[in-house]
């Protein structure tokens, strides 16, 4: 029991450090173990181009998500079905942008990096969405 109390006391007295979590793009690059001099700049350029292509589709998806919630809450079933179909089509367009970008990235990889490509592609999903707001936002965590 004294050990738990001592640990709690030490943790409470320790200075708080601002810990930065890696971004999704950093996780993606880290998973592939990109060469920082040649591969990383090429992959960054590919991702920037893909981000530009994905931006209008992502905006459409976000708008449709809001529309779907509102239609669901108001019970407007016929309009909801059309919004869901539009969302599905937009999601497919975004997946196409991601796949095309990944194809270009894959071409930049060396043979020994190919084995981690599938894991990196999983991380790529959602990469082009804006970052989520931190939890507990608002004034004073309210």
CATH number at residue 112: 1.20.120
The average confidence (pLDDT) of the chain is 85
Query: Does residue 56 fall inside a structural domain?
Result: yes
- Are the C-beta atoms of 90 and 67 separated by less than 8 Å? no
Query: Does residue 4 fall inside a structural domain?
Result: no
Query: Does residue 9 fall inside a structural domain?
Result: no
Query: What CA–CA distances, in Å, run from 35 to 22, 60, 132?
Result: 18, 35, 29
Query: Does residue 89 fall inside a structural domain?
Result: yes
Tell me the pLDDT tens digit for each residue of 5-30: 544 454 555 555 667 788 888 888 88
Cα separation of 51 and 100, whole Å?
12
Q: How many domains does the chain have?
A: 1
Tell me the pLDDT tens digit for each residue of 99-117: 999 999 999 999 999 999 9
pTM, two decimals, is: 0.75
Query: Does residue 54 fall inside a structural domain?
Result: yes
Cα separation of 61 and 90, whole Å?
6
Can you give the residue range of the structural domain that contains 53? 23-126
Tell me the pLDDT tens digit for each residue of 59-96: 999 999 999 999 999 999 999 999 999 999 999 999 99
Cα separation of 57 and 73, whole Å?
24
Cα separation of 33 and 120, whole Å?
10
């Amino acid at each position: 029991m004294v050990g738990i109390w001592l640990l709690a006391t030490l943790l409470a007295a320790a200075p708080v450090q601002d810990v930065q979590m890696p971004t999704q793009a950093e996780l993606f690059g880290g998973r592939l173990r990109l060469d920082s001099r040649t591969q990383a700049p090429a992959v960054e350029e590919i991702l920037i181009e893909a981000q530009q292509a994905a931006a209008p589709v992502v905006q459409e998806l976000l708008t449709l998500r809001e529309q779907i919630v509102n239609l669901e809450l108001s019970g407007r079933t016929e309009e909801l079905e059309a919004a869901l179909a539009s969302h599905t089509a937009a999601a497919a367009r975004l997946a196409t942008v991601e796949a095309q970008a990944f194809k270009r990235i894959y071409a930049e990889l060396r043979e020994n990096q190919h084995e981690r490509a599938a894991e990196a592609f999983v991380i790529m999903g959602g990469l082009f969405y804006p970052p989520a707001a931190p939890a507990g936002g608002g004034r004073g965590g309210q």
